[in-house]
Structure 1
Amino acid sequence: MIYQGNAITVARRDVPDGNVIAVLTFDLQGESINKLSSQVVAELDDAVKAIRFESDLGGLMIQSAKDVFIVGADITEFHALFDKGEDYLVEMNQRVHAIFNAIEDLPFPTVTAINGLALGGGCELPLTTDFRVMAERAKIGLPETKLGIIPGWGGCVRLPRLIGADNAIEWIAGGSENRADAALKMGAVDAVLPLEQLEAGALDILARAQRGELDYQKRRADKKGPLKLNPIEQMMAFETAKGFVAGKAGPHYPAPVEAIKVIQKGAGEQRERAQQIEAATFAKMALSDVAFNLVGLFLNDQVIKKKASKYEKQAQAVKQTAVLGAGIMGGGIAYQSASKGTPIVMKDIKADAIELGLKEARKLFAKQVERGKLTSAEMAEKLSNIRPTLSYGDFGHVDLVVEAVVENPKVKDAVLTEVEGQVGEETILASNTSTISIDRLAQNLKRPHNFCGMHFFNPVHRMPLVEVIRGEKTSDAAVAATVAYARAMGKTPIVVNDCPGFLVNRVLFPYFGGFSFLVEQGADFQKVDKVMEKFGWPMGPAYLLDVVGMDTAVHANEVMAEGFPERMARDTKTAIEVMYDNDRLGQKNAKGFYAYEEDKKGKPKKVTDEQAYALIKEVVKEHREFSDDEVIARMMVPLCLETVRALEDGIVDTPAEADMALIYGIGFPPFRGGALRYIDAMGVAEFVALADRLAEELGPLYAPTDKLRRMAEQGERFYAANASSAQNANA
């Protein structure tokens, strides 16, 4: 044994031709995956020094003993590392460069056997070796730009020299995970093999290099020297790419363009100088608010996945499901279930509704075929997972039923009590309600412990969030089964407790309340939309209301006003109600705050409609000009405060879940980290002061809670500084 650590071992191995090679194996003890934490990097340094000390070695093979190769750096360390400042980050990266360079400079050929996921630093490490072989089902990539940073351990230097600048820009700026066949085609790996042949393939490449059949020294020289592009080729490659990527990434996500600049600046340099450029830019990006917040999102997502996994372990098997109500929503739910492999019965009382649901599912599957994601045969097979019916004949064998009928408590009550009599004693009933109390719907059920909410967001196939709503009598078993089913559908479930609007809609409607106040005081709703879109929302509030539907918005607002009258009830008519009263429902009937025309692809395109302005004059009480900052404050403060209240009321367990629900459910700008991170970034005391100023004029919707005031006085935050989200308890 050459080296033995907690994550890395290096062993000698005799190979044919009388040679001895070193085999470096990653196998992080106590973990299911390999990752490059600070401790593991320190071990790698020791291991490489031990290898260099051995005088009789003829080659090196790097491999993994786990199902993955290396998933990347340990992201839970990032906030603490970033807090150490720019100089430290540059120095840290240069230390890693020195270790990786030592591998690249070993006096014999080297190869990496990539058996599974190789991401981030786990991709950059194999780039140091002379050769790479990859298992057929493995994936490789540099996703750092998705965290607001750039590859900092040689990815911006070695990858362009290996696969060309254009291909490297595509991989790095896109942050994609790339399949083995694509990696082979681009030249990122030298061979793709079945997993069971991977090691033999790697050893064969080493043997051929040792015999001089493969020129590993030339490969090294190409990786360590300048990019082989003349000045005109460089200008065309990089300037065009920067413009395209900037347009795609948008102004709030600078990392992809910064990565291209690093590749460009280092293109004419030798290895060490190019790495210095990379390290400096990595440090600059790591200290940005965007990186801090995107890393926070990753950590929050890990919290949610761990909680969901715990529920899954307790869950009864969900092998057959059903959806009641076949329309667009029911068809979307049926599609999602069938596409992920859980058979589903789709029931309605009307044949034309059944056909509408099937049409929706067929349309979504057909799009997958058009994109090359499915073959026609696979589409037919998945579509057969949906069984349409007008009766309850097959419901005795269903494990879970999703009720997705009209958002009317009387109708839902009738359907739920009816279906309860048709299913087994252990079958879970879940209502896809967006606002109606789960406790209210459970009142007439014989088995309320088997009932919960399962709120999908529209369109079902695109929106990742599912709110699983626990009622007062809902059992842990019902929650666990519903969470497990949501995960099986490829969704992100977040468990919340019952209240009007649950979490997401409860938080969204104060945001719409802020919009109504602005319109009343003379703000141009189109300007409000533009300001909030510039702030980072995918669409402004007026446009969002048109997409949601004014009828849906009015109904939900009535539920909120009844549940939280002191701050959500209004004595006067709002612009939303004006639209509804004038049958301007939004996109569903092509007129709302905007009018809608079909674009070339048949999708609704919004256009200005002067009639909307004429109608809302009814509610405009004054005419004021608002700065962008005033618009943002009036929109964001009530949304953030309601998130705080939901957390304090125990509707949601943790800041992580609250923030991720808003990002996944209503498109809260990810680079801002969520409502509670937004308050932290502003400073709790500063946020309370701003809310107090607005509350003086606009009332209780803007009033901070007593607990938030105490947090401000004591200098507390929702997220502990430099700690992973998993360590943050309920505020």
Structure 2
Amino acid sequence: MISKVANHFRMEEDNGVVTVWIDVAGSSMNVFNSSVIERLEDVVTELESSTADAVIFRSAKPSGFFAGADVKQIAQLSGREEVSAVVARGQKLFARIERLPMPTIAAIHGPCLGGGLEFALACSQRIALDSSATRLGLPEVQLGLIPGWGGSQRLPKRIGLIAALPMILQGKKLTAAQALKAGLIHAVAKEADWEATLSRRSTFSKPANGLRRRLEDSYLGRWFILRTAEKKIARDSKNYPALAAALTAVRAGFDRRCDGFAVERDEFTKLIETPTCRNLLTLFLWREEARNLNFRSSTSLRREDSTADSRPRFERQMAESHDWQNMAEVSGGGADGHDEPAADGRTSRLGEVDQQKLRTIGIIGAGAMGAGIGQLAALKGYDVVFKELNRELADAGMARVTRLLDDMVAKRRLSKSEYDAALARVQATNNFEDMADCDLVIEAVVEKMDVKRAVFASLAAVLKPHAVIVSNTSALSIGEMAAATSRPDRVAGLHFFNPVHRMDLVEVVRAKDTSDDTVMMLLKLVKTLGKTPIVTSDSPGFLVNRVLFPYIGEAVRMVMEGHSPRELDREIKKFGMPMGPIELVDHVGLDVAWHVAGTLEHVLPESGDVIRFLGNMVARGWMGKKSGRGFYDYIEGKRGDAADLSALLSSAHVPTENKPGGVRPFEDSDVQRPNIGAFLDDRLSDIQRRLVYPMINEVGFCMQDEVVAKSWMADLAMILGTGFAPFRGGPMTLAESIGPQTLRNNLNVLAARHGERFKPSAWLVAAGRPSRETNSQQRQEGVNGTV
């Protein structure tokens, strides 16, 4: 055997077969960056003159094959010439791989995404490991981009347009079994047969070209498929230009008069300059930052203060001790492995986090939320103990978890062996004593403080001293629950969103006495579960519900004034939300909305009328979709016409359109008095403005109350937790695009017309607000990500 080592790659030759081991230095995942591209060019140069019988590209990392290109480096690109040159370099390199004189095999395990799949597509054959971790996809559209290294050209020709377009236009990922069925890969092997399968490379068959593919290969077939796709994306393309750009590139790949790769390169180059792409890239980097928060930044809830330093925020933060290369991992310890002081001056016992491993998680309540959390924990290797009130409910909880796992197997997202292993880690009980060995217990019972306090007290009596107790409450006080225990330092909130398997956000709620160790433990857990954490203070509604309710409440108020629910929902969908506010409250449940609103009444002005109206609907049994009636009527779960609310409205106090007191004096000298009472142009409709501005303003109040440490956390949380239009970048990013003068003017006009609840928060009124970290800061701070 002959072996040669180069940076990022290791080449071994044995009996005429060259294995190229991929092991990108300094990264837990293989990613493409400029250094990797340069070294791979050297590898390909050597292979072009090789007499080897075959080449196998394999990852030396257990994490997977290739996660894609480094998003940080993509975000750093500036100017069309630079972008075009980077794209052209990758296209040329993969074209050279495609032309190598010997068979080339991509041995895929784990993620094979974005540039990683484009690399694999350039190989003549692809083999995949049969594992739930194996995923093949082109997620570039989720960043407002298209595949740029040949993915839009090779994939449709490998698997056909019908299979390729969902991967290109939706970012759909395929399991190994799905990829085999689609013809994307040539063979699938179980782990025990992996090496033997690689050695039988000559027996791989070409994916079948069935009747459907033959129809697709005709001119009329391709025209019909592309035309149908064009109609489907027409509405979304206005906000997400990558959709139309991707179709343009795909169509060019089948046009003999065009250079499809040149069209792909040109479309990619144009997209990277769009506001949508900039916002989605920044969102991706924020998500990576949230998942990799260091100890100081994750536990400090210090308010941003633009008046303390006149420099742009990214310059101020770069001047602070924010070294991403020496960042402490959430598993504990500073850069040198020693304890480091917390931001508030306390000393963290980070060593204890390492010493006390989190192995067993208890869950009180095996309903929809509890079962979802438990299933996820079991899949990630934790032992899970469910506690219910009686044996019958405990058995029902186990059945619920089993159904969730069955569904994953049915969708081929989980193998039978992985299913068996996960289920073996789960047990259910109706005795608190059976929770004694749990390292962490998550309470997910009814949203009643007296019930939760009783649960916390019972847990504190049986758990070992190191164990942590958290609540999945969406709004209730963590500190009040902690008072029922003798361990307030080991009590916190861990607010998952429903459905657990789909919602990425988790609010980590830090109460007054919650220790640094507890926060660190929970951050590590959330990251291990594959979710994105946002640390919030223990205040009513935490972050997401507090910012969301002014929006929902204003929509309810507008219905009370006579607006059509359909009109409100239609306008907000045009704004970019996945569903309107009235649809949302029906979907969540009016009883849930009423309860959350009640906990927020003392922090949200003028909310009493709305809360009483929701309470009257709940008293009549109108809970929304689950009861068959809310603001809409539902027939077998399907939304019908708007419900007749006339009886409720006639007995309710309907808020008047205008509140007394007139317009408050403008505090900003740059806003001219002739504009008082008139809206400045913000590119929003009257309905959109009235519903969206309350969210922007409430983020300002959250910043004043130090609910979160940084305003970008609010943007990220609202997108991940509520579906706030991603292409707009979140409430604060939207506020920046509107501009501070226009924003403050319009809030004051809304306050004059509709009530003091629209009065701009002091945080928004402060000089230079709103302002967020710019894309350039994200690029300079070095948050890593891949596509």
* Alpha-carbon distance in 2 for matches of 1:725, 1:644: 26
Contact 1:496 1:502 in 2 (8 A): yes
* Alpha-carbon distance in 1 for matches of 2:186, 2:416: 33
* Aligned match of 2:150: 154
* Aligned match of 2:644: 611
Q: Deviations over 1:257-305 (max 9, x none)?
A: 54233222220327x8111121122223333333222222221221122
Q: Deviations over 1:623-670 (max 9, x none)?
A: 79x997111111111112222332453322334432232223222233
* Alpha-carbon distance in 1 for matches of 2:389, 2:205: 71
After superposition, the Cα gap between the structure-2 partners of 1:103 and 1:485, relative to the gap in structure 1 and judged at 3 Å, is closer
* Alpha-carbon distance in 2 for matches of 1:147, 1:120: 11
* Aligned match of 1:476: 516
* Aligned match of 1:89: 83
Which runs of structure 2 are paired with 1:123-202 in the superposition (5 Å)? Answer: 123-134=117-128, 139-190=135-186
Q: Alignment partner of 1:606: what SS?
A: strand
Contact 1:579 1:592 in 2 (8 A): yes
Query: 751, 754, 764: which is aligned to 1:708?
Result: 764
Q: Alignment partner of 2:31: what SS?
A: coil
Contact 1:486 1:493 in 2 (8 A): yes
Matched, 1:407 2:447: yes
Matched, 1:678 2:734: yes
Question: Using CA pairs below 8 Å that are at least 6 residues apart, which structure has the higher relative contact order?
Answer: 2
After superposition, the Cα gap between the structure-2 partners of 1:26 and 1:427, relative to the gap in structure 1 and judged at 3 Å, is closer
Contact 1:547 1:587 in 2 (8 A): yes
Q: Alignment partner of 2:446: what SS?
A: coil
After superposition, the Cα gap between the structure-2 partners of 1:174 and 1:517, relative to the gap in structure 1 and judged at 3 Å, is closer
Contact 1:115 1:198 in 2 (8 A): no
After superposition, the Cα gap between the structure-2 partners of 1:539 and 1:717, relative to the gap in structure 1 and judged at 3 Å, is same
Instruction: Tell me which moved more, 372-381 or 261-270.
Output: 372-381
Which runs of structure 2 are paired with 1:648-687 in the superposition (5 Å)? Answer: 648-687=704-743
Letter in 2 for 1:84: G
Query: 618, 627, 648: which is aligned to 1:589?
Result: 627
After superposition, the Cα gap between the structure-2 partners of 1:340 and 1:259, relative to the gap in structure 1 and judged at 3 Å, is same
Q: Alignment partner of 1:345: what SS?
A: strand
* Alpha-carbon distance in 2 for matches of 1:214, 1:364: 35
* Aligned match of 2:102: 109
Residue 352 (structure 1) shift = 5.8
Residue 24 (structure 1) shift = 5.8
After superposition, the Cα gap between the structure-2 partners of 1:597 and 1:250, relative to the gap in structure 1 and judged at 3 Å, is farther
Residue 26 (structure 1) shift = 4.2
* Aligned match of 2:347: none
* Alpha-carbon distance in 2 for matches of 1:263, 1:622: 54
* Aligned match of 1:532: 572
Q: Alignment partner of 2:484: what SS?
A: coil
* Aligned match of 1:289: 275
Contact 1:300 1:725 in 2 (8 A): no
After superposition, the Cα gap between the structure-2 partners of 1:60 and 1:527, relative to the gap in structure 1 and judged at 3 Å, is same
* Alpha-carbon distance in 1 for matches of 2:178, 2:400: 33
Which runs of structure 2 are paired with 1:30-429 in the superposition (5 Å)? Answer: 30-45=26-41, 48=44, 62-67=57-62, 68-81=64-77, 83-85=78-80, 88-105=82-99, 108-109=101-102, 111-116=104-109, 117-134=111-128, 139-190=135-186, 229-243=217-231, 252-256=239-243, 258-269=245-256, 273-307=259-293, 310-313=329-332, 314=353, 316-338=356-378, 340-350=380-390, 353-354=393-394, 357-358=397-398, 360-368=400-408, 370-373=410-413, 382=422, 385-429=425-469
After superposition, the Cα gap between the structure-2 partners of 1:265 and 1:574, relative to the gap in structure 1 and judged at 3 Å, is farther
Q: Alignment partner of 1:429: what SS?
A: strand
Contact 1:61 1:203 in 2 (8 A): no
Letter in 1 for 2:480: R
* Aligned match of 1:717: 772
Matched, 1:499 2:539: yes
Q: Deviations over 1:231-261 (max 9, x none)?
A: 22322343344446669x7864453454233
Contact 1:684 1:717 in 2 (8 A): no
Q: Deviations over 1:687-724 (max 9, x none)?
A: 334333323434443333334334536x8434454624
Q: Deviations over 1:14-53 (max 9, x none)?
A: 855xxxx98765443222233222343345456656766x
After superposition, the Cα gap between the structure-2 partners of 1:418 and 1:726, relative to the gap in structure 1 and judged at 3 Å, is farther
Contact 1:531 1:628 in 2 (8 A): no
What is the alpha-carbon root mean square deviation over aligned residues? 4.1
* Alpha-carbon distance in 1 for matches of 2:409, 2:193: 32
After superposition, the Cα gap between the structure-2 partners of 1:354 and 1:40, relative to the gap in structure 1 and judged at 3 Å, is closer
Residue 448 (structure 1) shift = 0.8
Contact 1:456 1:467 in 2 (8 A): yes
Residue 72 (structure 1) shift = 1.5
Give me the TM-score of the superposition, normalised by structure 1: 0.82
Q: Deviations over 1:181-231 (max 9, x none)?
A: 5445554445556789989987986xx8xxxx9999xx9xxxxxxx99342
Contact 1:711 1:717 in 2 (8 A): no
Letter in 1 for 2:248: K
Which runs of structure 2 are paired with 1:449-488 in the superposition (5 Å)? Answer: 449-487=489-527
Gaps of 5+ in 1: 220-226, 599-603
* Alpha-carbon distance in 1 for matches of 2:630, 2:12: 73
Which runs of structure 2 are paired with 1:565-576 in the superposition (5 Å)? Answer: 567=605, 569-570=607-608, 575-576=613-614
* Alpha-carbon distance in 1 for matches of 2:545, 2:647: 29
Contact 2:703 2:763 in 1 (8 A): no
* Alpha-carbon distance in 1 for matches of 2:384, 2:98: 54
Q: Alignment partner of 1:140: what SS?
A: strand
Letter in 2 for 1:175: G
Letter in 1 for 2:290: I
After superposition, the Cα gap between the structure-2 partners of 1:186 and 1:416, relative to the gap in structure 1 and judged at 3 Å, is closer
Q: Alignment partner of 2:385: what SS?
A: strand
Instruction: Tell me which moved more, 128-137 or 71-80.
Output: 128-137
Contact 1:592 1:612 in 2 (8 A): no
- As a proportion of its length, which structure holds more helix? 1
Contact 1:522 1:623 in 2 (8 A): no
* Alpha-carbon distance in 1 for matches of 2:12, 2:271: 41
Letter in 1 for 2:95: N
Instruction: Tell me which moved more, 541-550 or 515-524.
Output: 515-524
Give me the TM-score of the superposition, normalised by structure 2: 0.77
Contact 1:115 1:195 in 2 (8 A): no
* Alpha-carbon distance in 1 for matches of 2:693, 2:246: 35
Residue 180 (structure 1) shift = 4.2
* Alpha-carbon distance in 1 for matches of 2:120, 2:373: 42
Q: Alignment partner of 1:307: what SS?
A: coil
Letter in 2 for 1:612: L
Instruction: Tell me which moved more, 136-145 or 371-380.
Output: 371-380
* Aligned match of 2:323: none
After superposition, the Cα gap between the structure-2 partners of 1:263 and 1:440, relative to the gap in structure 1 and judged at 3 Å, is same
Q: Deviations over 1:599-641 (max 9, x none)?
A: xxxxx222224422442353445579x9971111111111122
Q: Alignment partner of 1:611: what SS?
A: coil
Letter in 2 for 1:717: R
* Aligned match of 1:222: none
* Alpha-carbon distance in 2 for matches of 1:572, 1:590: 21
Residue 4 (structure 1) shift = 8.3
After superposition, the Cα gap between the structure-2 partners of 1:356 and 1:613, relative to the gap in structure 1 and judged at 3 Å, is farther
* Alpha-carbon distance in 2 for matches of 1:347, 1:129: 51
* Alpha-carbon distance in 1 for matches of 2:426, 2:14: 57
Sequence identity (%) = 31
Residue 499 (structure 1) shift = 0.9
Letter in 2 for 1:285: L
After superposition, the Cα gap between the structure-2 partners of 1:92 and 1:615, relative to the gap in structure 1 and judged at 3 Å, is same
Matched, 1:634 2:690: yes
